[in-house]
Structures are given as structure tokens and as C-alpha cells.
A = this chain, B = another copy of it.
Amino acid sequence: MEDTKSYLQAFAKLNTAMREKCPLVHNITNYVTVNDVANATLAIGASPIMADAIEEAANIASISSALVINIGTLNARTVESMIAAGRAANEKNIPIVFDPVGAGASAFRNKTTERLLQELKISILRGNLSEISFIAGVSASTKGVDVSEGDSANDAQAICQKVAKERNCSVVVTGKTDFVSNGLRLAKVDNGVALLSKVTGTGCMTSAITGAYAGASDDMFVAALAGVSSMGIAGEIAFEKSADKGTGSFRVSLIDALSQLQAETILKRAKIR
């Protein structure tokens, strides 16, 4: 209870501090949602840079405040850049957020996910239950890049904690309830709406704004919590404004809400247990 209250305070405070710092966030991400990732990063108050050429990946990572790696449309070329950027980030203790999009869906994604987890020190790992289940070694039924149904919330909490302990990082499992754990601490976030799954990139954007928070914080657990709850709150606000119009309008309202999200709204709306 005390914890919950302190997390909420820390989250709201971090939002303000991050907007003041405007951290540079290096994204090596997929080309499907990269524009939304950039706009979400700007909206939340940070400055995005996308650079995936091996010739500059390490360079750019080393001048950034955070690195976000997303394997949504990985290929042999960009995987090497992810590794190079990740090593440069690790050398300078720049936090890395890793989004293992579609882990479990192909051998190539599985192998790359494992490689990134082995070769890099990841600060925050964020995925849906199918993806994190794959990393946990739990038999998961990944169906493409969207979460498979039929996995229960109880599993999500246990898997979140297991992976956090085993991989020694903060883990976020997104779903109806989001679970955040660093192995010691655990929080549940009840923000968000189902419609978020009908817009592509809401997961990628969540990882990106988590990177923005990570780039302005020393507490990766709080940054992870802030990222996932920010997207959930923005989703709720967008839903209230535009759900009846359709998913195109909902997506516009989502960016609107992120761009106007500040401590006051966070304190009022965040549902952290």
C-alpha cells in the first residue's frame, strides 16, 4: 500500500523531470510503427533518434540517454546494429529497453531474442504474455505479433516475476492488467482499454515512452511502471474522446493524450496496485 503510493508519486515526478530533461532516445525499431514511435516519444516529452546502420549505431547509442531495441521487422543487417548499439550503451551504463516483438513466432525471432538477452545487459524487457512466456521457457501459443488468448492473468504475474529474476532486469507483461516486476518489487497496473490492441504499434509506443522515462531516471522499475501506465492512461482518455468514431480517430487521440499527459492527470488516473 505504502509502496503503491510511493510508486505513483515517483511516476508523476518522473514525468515532470523527463519533460524537463527531454532525453535523446535512440530507437532501433521496426518500420511498421516507427513513425508512431517517434511521435509518441516527442509527445511524452523526449527526443527520438532512429539510426540502424552498423556504421553509426554504436555512435548514436553512446550520445543518447536511452536505447530502445524492437525486433518487429528485424533482419540480419539490423540485428548486428542492435548488438553494436547495445554494447555501446552498456559500456556507458545507458539503459536499454528491449521489446521482443513476435518472440515465439519464428525461429529467427527466438534466436535473436535469446542472443540479445545473452549479449546485452537489458534494463527493461517489455512484451505481451506470449512473448514473455517464450522467454520464460513456458510453452506459449504466439499467434503472429499479437497476444494469444487463453493465457490467464495468474500466469502473467508468475511469468513476469520469474523472468525478472532470471534475467535480472525489470519486466513488463502487458495485458488487461499489466504486471511490472524487477524480481523484488511487483506492481499491477489496471489502466488501458481493449481498443489499444486494434491500433498497430501501441506496444511499440509503450516501449518507446518507457525508454523516454528510463532516459531520465535511475530507477528502472519506476520507469517501466511509468511507461506502461502512461500508455494505459492515454488509451483511456483517447477512448473517452474518440472510440465511437473508429480506430483512426482513436489513434490520433492517443497521441493527443500522450502530448498532454502531465503529473496532475497521472496522480488522478493511474491505477497502480
* A34 within 8 Å of B (CB atoms): yes
Binds B, one of A153-161, A172-180, A184-192, A241-249: A241-249
B200 touches A38 (CB 8 A): yes
* A102 within 8 Å of B (CB atoms): yes
Q: How far is it, in angstroms, between the C-alpha of A103 and the C-alpha of B50 when the chains are bound?
A: 13
Tally of A interface residues using CB under 8 Å: 61
A107 touches B76 (CB 8 A): no
Q: A188 to chain B: closest CB distance in Å?
A: 27
Given contacts A32-B34, A246-B255, A249-B256, contact A145 B49 (CB under 8 A): yes
Q: A238 to chain B: closest CB distance in Å?
A: 9
* A117 within 8 Å of B (CB atoms): no
* A21 within 8 Å of B (CB atoms): no
Q: How far is it, in angstroms, between the C-alpha of A179 and the C-alpha of B13 when the chains are bound?
A: 39
Chain A residues with CB under 8 Å of chain B are 24, 30-36, 38-39, 42-43, 47-56, 59-60, 63-64, 72-77, 102, 105-109, 143-146, 198-201, 245-249, 251-260
